[in-house]
Amino acid sequence: MIKKNSKNVKLKRAASTSLTYAILIGVSIVFLFPCLWLILASFSKSGSIYSFDGFFPSEFSFDSFITLFTDTSSSGYNYPKWFLNTLFISVMSCIFSTLLVIATAYTVSRFEFKAKKPLMKTTLVLGMFPSFMGMTAVYILMTQFNLVNSHWGLILIYSCGAPMGYLVQKGFFDTIPTSIYEAARIDGASNAKVFRTITLPLSKPIIVFTALTSFTWPWSDFILPKLLLKEKDMYTVAVGLMNLGETEFSRFAAGAVFIAVPIVILYFFLIKYMISGMTAGAVKE
C-alpha cells in the first residue's frame, strides 16, 4: 500500500515539475523571441522588412549598423547626434532628479510638520491627473522661457517632475528605525550630519534605484521630446527612431538594439537594486 502511494506521489511530483518547466520554457521563448528577432533584423542586409524570409533576414550584414552612424545627411536622420543628445539629457536629469527626489522623500519621511499630511494628500491627487494634461501648458511655458527646442527644457521638466514620485523612496526611508535618529540626536549630531553619516550610507540601494530609473527614463520617453524638440539635430533617439517606416526596418532595429543593449546590461547588473527599490515602495507589512 505504502509503496504504491509513494510511487503515486513521486509520479505526481514529476508530472508537476515537468509541467512547470514546460511552462517556463514557453514563457522564456515568448519573452526572448521578439528581442531575438530585432537583433537579427539589425543584421539584415536589406533595409526593408519586405525582404525578410518570415521572421528572419534573407541576408546578413553589418550594413545597417554602418549606415546608422554614417548616414547623417538624409532628411530627418542623425543617429550619432541623437545618441549624444539623449546621453546628455539622461545624465543631467539623472543627477538633478536623484538629488531632488531623495531630498524630498527623506524630508517627508523623517520630519513631522503641520503641512505634512495635506501635502501628501495633495501630491497623491495631483499624481492622478493624466500626464498628458499639462503638455500644452508646458509647451507654452517653455515658449515663454525660450526653452523650446532646448535640451535644458527637457532636463528641467524631468527633474522638476521627479519629486512627485517620492513615495517609493519615502517607503524606503521609513524603514530606518526612528530610534537610530534619536540615538544620534542624543549623541549630538545635527540634522545635516545625521543625513550624511547615517542615512546616506544606509540608502545605497534606493539611491542606485533612483539614479537608474531617472537615467533610463529619458531614453524611452518620446512624448515630451516630440513635443518640444523641433530640429532634427536636437532629437533624442526615441523621437528619431519613431519616424522610421517599414522600408528602413533594419535600421530601426539597429538603432534600437544599439541603445537597448547598454540599458539592458545596466539593468541586469543592478537588478538587485531594482527589486529592492520596487518593493520598498510597495510592500506593506
Q: Which of residues 177-206 bind other proteins (CB under 8 A)?
A: 177, 179-180, 182-193, 197-198, 201-202
Q: Which is nearer to other proteins, 73 or 126 (CB)?
A: 126
Decide whether 84 or 282 has the Cβ nearer to other proteins. 282
Q: Is 238 an interacting residue with respect to other proteins (CB under 8 A)?
A: yes
Q: Which three cell numbers stand for residue 127?
A: 499624481
DSSP string, 37-57: HHHHHHTBSSSSGGG-BTTB-
Identity at 16, one-letter amino acid code: S
**Residue 59 · residue 44 · CB < 8 Å:** yes
CB of 100 to other proteins, least distance (A): 5
In terms of Cβ atoms closer than 10 Å to its own Cβ (0-12, 13-18, 19+), residue 249 is buried
| Cell output for 1 | 500500500
Does 216 participate in binding other proteins (rule CB under 8 A)? yes
> 37: which 3 cell numbers?
528577432
Nearer to other proteins by Cβ, of 73 and 210: the residue is 210
* Whether the Cβ atoms of residue 165 and residue 206 lie closer than 8 Å to each other: no
CB-wise, 45 or 73, nearer to other proteins? 45
What does the CA dihedral 39, 43, 45, 49 come to, rounded to 10 degrees?
10
User: Interacting stretch for other proteins, rule CB under 8 A, among 4-12, 61-69, 75-83, 156-164?
Assistant: 156-164
By CB under 8 A, the count of residues binding other proteins is 114
Q: Does 164 bind other proteins (CB under 8 A)?
A: yes
Query: What is the rounded CA–CA span in Å between residue 221 and residue 122?
Result: 26
- Considering only 1, 137, 146, 231, the residue that binds other proteins (CB under 8 A) is 137
Q: Is residue 84 involved in binding other proteins (CB under 8 A)?
A: no
Residue 159 in the binding site for other proteins (CB under 8 A)? yes
Q: Cα 210 to chain center, whole Å?
A: 10
Give the residue, chosen from 8, 10, 11, 55, that forms a contact with other proteins under the rule CB under 8 A.
Answer: 55
Q: Confirm or reject binding of residue 283 to other proteins (CB under 8 A).
A: yes
Q: How far is the CB of 130 from other proteins (least distance, A)?
A: 5
CA 270 – CA 282 distance, rounded (Å)? 19
Site for other proteins in 5-24 (CB under 8 A): 13, 16-17, 20-21, 23-24
